[in-house]
Amino acid sequence: MNRCSLALSRAIARVTDSALGPYQTAVIRIGFSLTWLLFLLREFPHRQELYGPDGPWSWELADQLVATNDAFTPLLWSDSQVWFEAVYALAVLWSLLLLLGWRTRTMSVLFMVGVLALQNRSVFMGDGGDNVLHLMSIYLVFTRCGRVWSLDARRARRAAGARARGEWPRDRTGPVLWGVLGLLLLLATLAGRMDGDWFIPALLWTVWLAQALWWLVGRRAETGQPRILLDVVANVVHNGALLVIMAEACLIYATAGWYKVQGSRWQDGTAVYYPLHLEYFSPWPALADLLSASGTMVMLVTYGTVAVQVAFPFTLFNRRVKNVLLAFMITEHAVIAVVLGLPFFSLAMIAADAVFLPTAFLRRLGNLAARARGRPRPRGTSVPRPRPPADRPADHPADHPVGKDPAEAAPAPGGVPGPRT
């Protein structure tokens, strides 16, 4: 019984003390924002036909559909050409800022708004990867995806260094951004633009109020306990969202694999052969002919795909087998991107797969990228701790708040809280 209690307490402490998988969530942030950014840039010359007034799915048809399914899309707030261009340009900007990790908590929300605005405007556009991007853009809002490999992480290190020197840097950009977005959200609500499904408006208001609470606690709290409590809540939400992302990826592969098992073309081993000879999926006909020339190769790829997709969720309990299958799936998606001409579908799936990549591999990848830029890997700056009382040793546990990095300790009254990423 004591062992069970000890294991349970350790599990609870692990979930509440820190945001798990910081490198994995950073890769997810970078992967999905890059996928959406590249898609918007590639389709920029065709944006009018895809999501604008020149598309076959007209503004009136989209408005009728949204009236029945209550989907959230700011593009239907107006049929003005100027409004469409502004929303499209903002979606590009928000994707870029989330990719760079600037104000990731706010940019993740705006990134979600940009994805929903365009995808819900023309629901028949996309190749399957758009569904993954649609879901993951919502899940990203709940994660602390800017802890590493972001401008927010660099800003946090600089703020920690300033506090170590006895300075208290002020964050003026955050409150201004919060105020402007709050005003726009209030105007949209009062104008009745949020009268559809309740989830997205409730999520927007919840995040906005949470940001206000985070700032007020950092500025006004006399002790560090309220900030620690908010950190625990943020960690629990982050870890829960990370679990949902992993479950979603497993569900995608398991569902696809079991449906393939039931398909006759996958049973007779020809499901890969036929798409290679479709003009729509053959940007490189010579390469497709080369791959389909060997019947044995086609059969192995067909059955191998089904076996890997069905088995992958069960391999999560064995790290080595999981990593082998993960490498196989990422390679397969890269081949699909080139051979079948589905780059954005493949990028979205690779980004979803990245949640299972080992932390050691991602850290080595980050170190290689840092060395390629010609500068050493950034390290956190420690903050001097308060001098302990004379009757207490310097290394007493009371001097180390549970689950807190010294660089993220609560500021003194009147100071500026660290960025919430």
User: pLDDT by residue (tens digit) across 114-173?
Assistant: 999 999 999 888 777 889 999 999 999 999 999 999 999 999 999 999 989 988 888 889
CB of 36 closer than 8 Å to CB of 88: no
**CA 296 – CA 79 distance, rounded (Å):** 54
CB of 198 closer than 8 Å to CB of 206: no
- Eight-state DSSP code of residue 230: H
| DSSP string over 285-298 | HHHHHHHHT-HHHH
Contacts of 416 (CB under 8 A, 6+ apart): 159, 168, 169, 170, 171, 218, 219
- Res. 390 pLDDT band, cuts 50 70 90: very low
Q: What is the pLDDT of residue 397?
A: 42
- Res. 386 pLDDT band, cuts 50 70 90: very low
**CA 241 – CA 142 distance, rounded (Å):** 6
Q: What is the pLDDT of residue 379?
A: 52
- Mean pLDDT for 255-277 is 87
**CA 39 – CA 51 distance, rounded (Å):** 13
Q: What is the pLDDT of residue 203?
A: 96
Q: What is the pLDDT of residue 420?
A: 54
- pTM given for the model: 0.86
Distances (CA, A) of 346 to 132, 253, 324, 353, 365: 11, 13, 18, 10, 21
- Eight-state DSSP code of residue 135: H
Q: Quick one: 285 exposed, middle or buried, by C-beta within 10 A (0-12, 13-18, 19+)?
A: exposed
- Four-point Cα dihedral 106, 109, 112, 118, nearest 10: -80
State the sign of the Cα–Cα–Cα–Cα dihedral 39, 68, 248, 364.
Answer: positive
Q: Quick one: 421 exposed, middle or buried, by C-beta within 10 A (0-12, 13-18, 19+)?
A: buried
Q: What is the pLDDT of residue 383?
A: 43
Residue 54 has pLDDT above 90, yes or no: no
CB of 361 closer than 8 Å to CB of 49: no
**CA 201 – CA 187 distance, rounded (Å):** 12
Residue 362 has pLDDT above 50, yes or no: yes
Q: Hey, is 13 helix, strand or coil?
A: helix
CB of 276 closer than 8 Å to CB of 282: yes
- Mean pLDDT for 300-307 is 91
**CA 4 – CA 25 distance, rounded (Å):** 30
Residue 368 has pLDDT above 50, yes or no: yes
User: Residue 93 belongs to what H/E stretch?
Assistant: helix 81-100
Closest-CA residue to 414 (of 218, 158, 178) = 218
Residue 408 has pLDDT above 60, yes or no: no
CB of 71 closer than 8 Å to CB of 196: yes
State the sign of the Cα–Cα–Cα–Cα dihedral 270, 272, 277, 281.
Answer: positive
Alpha helices in 264-381 (DSSP H): 264-267, 285-292, 295-311, 319-339, 343-353, 359-372
- Res. 73 pLDDT band, cuts 50 70 90: very high
Q: Hey, is 223 helix, strand or coil?
A: coil
pLDDT in tens, 176-209: 999 999 999 999 999 998 888 899 999 999 999 9
